Copies of this chain bind each other. A is one copy, B any other.
Amino acid sequence: MRTDASSIGPGARADRGEAAPAPLFLRACRGEPVERTPIWLMRQAGRYLPEYRALRQRVDFLTCCRTPDLVCEITLQPLRRFDLDAAILFSDILLPLPGMGVDVTFNPGPVLARPIRTRADVAALRPADPDEAIPGAIEAVRLLRRALDPSTPLIGFAGAPFTIATYLVEGGGSRHFEAIKSLLFSDPPTAHRLLDVCAETAAASLAAQIRAGAQAAMVFDTWAGLLGPEDYRAFALPYVRRVFDAAARAAADTGADVPRIYYAGLGGGLLEICRDTGATVIGVDWRTDLATARRRMGPSVAVQGNLDPAVLLAPAEVIRARATRLLDEAGPRGHVFNLGHGILPSTPPDHVSVLVEAVHTHQGGHA
């Protein structure tokens, strides 16, 4: 839904007193019939947009994440250009780290001044209180709910405990992830204590976003694919479930039906297990085709994905053909169109327009 200055404020439909149907995106997440498949894009607010890069020339990344007006502005930027069916809060999964007692800078990737390596390091961590740790983000959720058209739901999110733990232990990205693996395999009790703190932090952050008005709750498990199934069951799954349980409780408190979306990076080998996270929607990367993903996971969850982000670097006719094939493969129900990974910074914005139009005009047996 195009949201520019003129449409900020309550949706026009509500002004006319009509009973609005639930937004397309939320209905697709719930597996309800939809008139067309909704689309949003992971990292839709970000570096591929010239207006974002222009803003970032003036303001550093963390300030952008912590200033409610800037979070709103950046969150809305892609919605001014493209007819997307959901907004996602501009933020970062590592934003709560200072609230946990950990210094992080972005350069541009995250770098920790002092990685968490020892039992004492883990013991010194505290769960971050979202009102203190991500106050700008919570306030931005409230502002965005007023700014967005009601047909465009706002997705809140948090980092999965295992992924946050990986950043804390590795101190940033890594080639072989030896530090986190060594911790998991050599000292599981300390690993579980660390994952506890990360889960409590993520749960509190996601619950606070829901209480402030976020209409869907996503958990990004960027590094889940580092783990084989056995280790995923031990070190990732129970903590994701705890975060989604907290999200479900917060949603129940507000009386809203808030879909829970889970994305496991490189998680193709884990799909059947991902179902047990308590997610209602499973994000699938482009390495598994959606028909296979659906077959493996069954009808109890919706799927989100999974165009290879590099397809957006190709000519328009390739984008259209790939989008069409993907929609045909996914079927008309219980599918949220997305990329299989975050949009690449080198993506030409007009290619995104081509994709959104291709998804919106696709005829695929919709209700």
Could you tell me which A residues sit within 8 Å of B by CB distance?
Answer: 176-178, 181-182, 185-186, 225, 227-231, 266, 268-270, 286-289, 292, 306, 308-311, 313-315, 318, 325, 340, 344, 346
Contacts and interface: CB of A to CB of B under 8 A. Distances in A.
* Residues of A contacting B: mostly: helix
B185 A311 contact: yes
B318 A186 contact: yes
Q: Chain copies in the assembly?
A: 2
B176 A310 contact: yes
Contacts of A286: 228
27 contacts: A176-B309, A176-B310, A178-B310, A178-B344, A181-B311, A182-B310, A182-B313, A185-B310, A185-B314, A186-B315, A227-B287, A228-B286, A228-B287, A228-B289, A228-B306, A228-B308, A229-B288, A229-B289, A229-B292, A230-B289, A230-B325, A231-B308, A266-B287, A268-B268, A268-B269, A269-B287, A269-B288
Query: Closest 4 interchain pairs by CB?
Result: A181-B310, A185-B314, A268-B269, A269-B287
A178 B268 CA distance: 21
Contacts of A325: 230
Contacts of A270: 287
A225 to B, nearest CB: 6
A314 B186 contact: yes
Contacts of A309: 176
